[in-house]
Amino acid sequence: MSDWKQNLQKFRYVMDTLLLTSFMLVSAPQATGIPLHEWFSLFFIIPFVIHLLLHWDWVTRSFGRLFANITARERFNIVWDYLLYLMMLLVFVSGFLVSVALLPALNISLNIQDFWSKIHHDSATFIMPMLGVHLALNFSWIVKLTKRMFAKEAK
């Protein structure tokens, strides 16, 4: 575990764990309160971008792979990840457009529309099962890395 900063897979694992933990924290406004929810959401952009940067190879190759001779599972995985990215952006955008703490604190005033309130509530709920499917599609990697991370180092 000590070499996680040097090993790409282990570094991804640690950053993805951080991303999942921060996602769960950000997705519980009833527990944290709205102001903290909005500020956490702003900082959540950092682990989200790190996740994309650490999978840069996938980001650049995935679109081309869609037109290659690949398995149905891989094709589904690629399309699902694109949809998850779009849904995440929708949650972000709608969240900022219904902000009652963050934007007013930055002296930005908005006329909050019911449309964006509904979209934010619905998309933030819908992204959770989407994330569940995303985790399931990468479950073998998660299991493999969990074993590697916590394996006792040979002496």
Q: How far is the CB of 130 from another protein (least distance, A)?
A: 8
DSSP 44-96: HHHHHHHHHHHTHHHHHHHHHHTTSS--HHHHHHHHHHHHHHHHHHHHHHHHH
Torsion of CA 133, 137, 138, 144, to 10 degrees: 120
Nearer to another protein, 49 or 105 (CB): 49
Check binding of 35 to another protein (CB under 8 A).
no
Check binding of 128 to another protein (CB under 8 A).
yes
> Binders of another protein: how many residues, by CB under 8 A?
43
Check binding of 70 to another protein (CB under 8 A).
no
What is the rounded distance in angstroms from the CA atom of residue 149 to the CA atom of residue 6? 13
Check binding of 30 to another protein (CB under 8 A).
yes
60 torsion bin: left (phi>0), alpha (psi -120 to 50), beta (else): alpha
Check binding of 149 to another protein (CB under 8 A).
no
Residues numbered 82-121 forming contacts with another protein, rule: CB under 8 A: 86, 89-90, 92-93, 97, 113-119, 121
Extract the tokens encoding 20.
Answer: 């999942």
Can you give the binding site for another protein, defined by CB under 8 A? Answer: 5-6, 8, 11-12, 24, 27-31, 49-50, 52-54, 56, 73, 86, 89-90, 92-93, 97, 113-119, 121, 125, 128-133, 135-137, 139
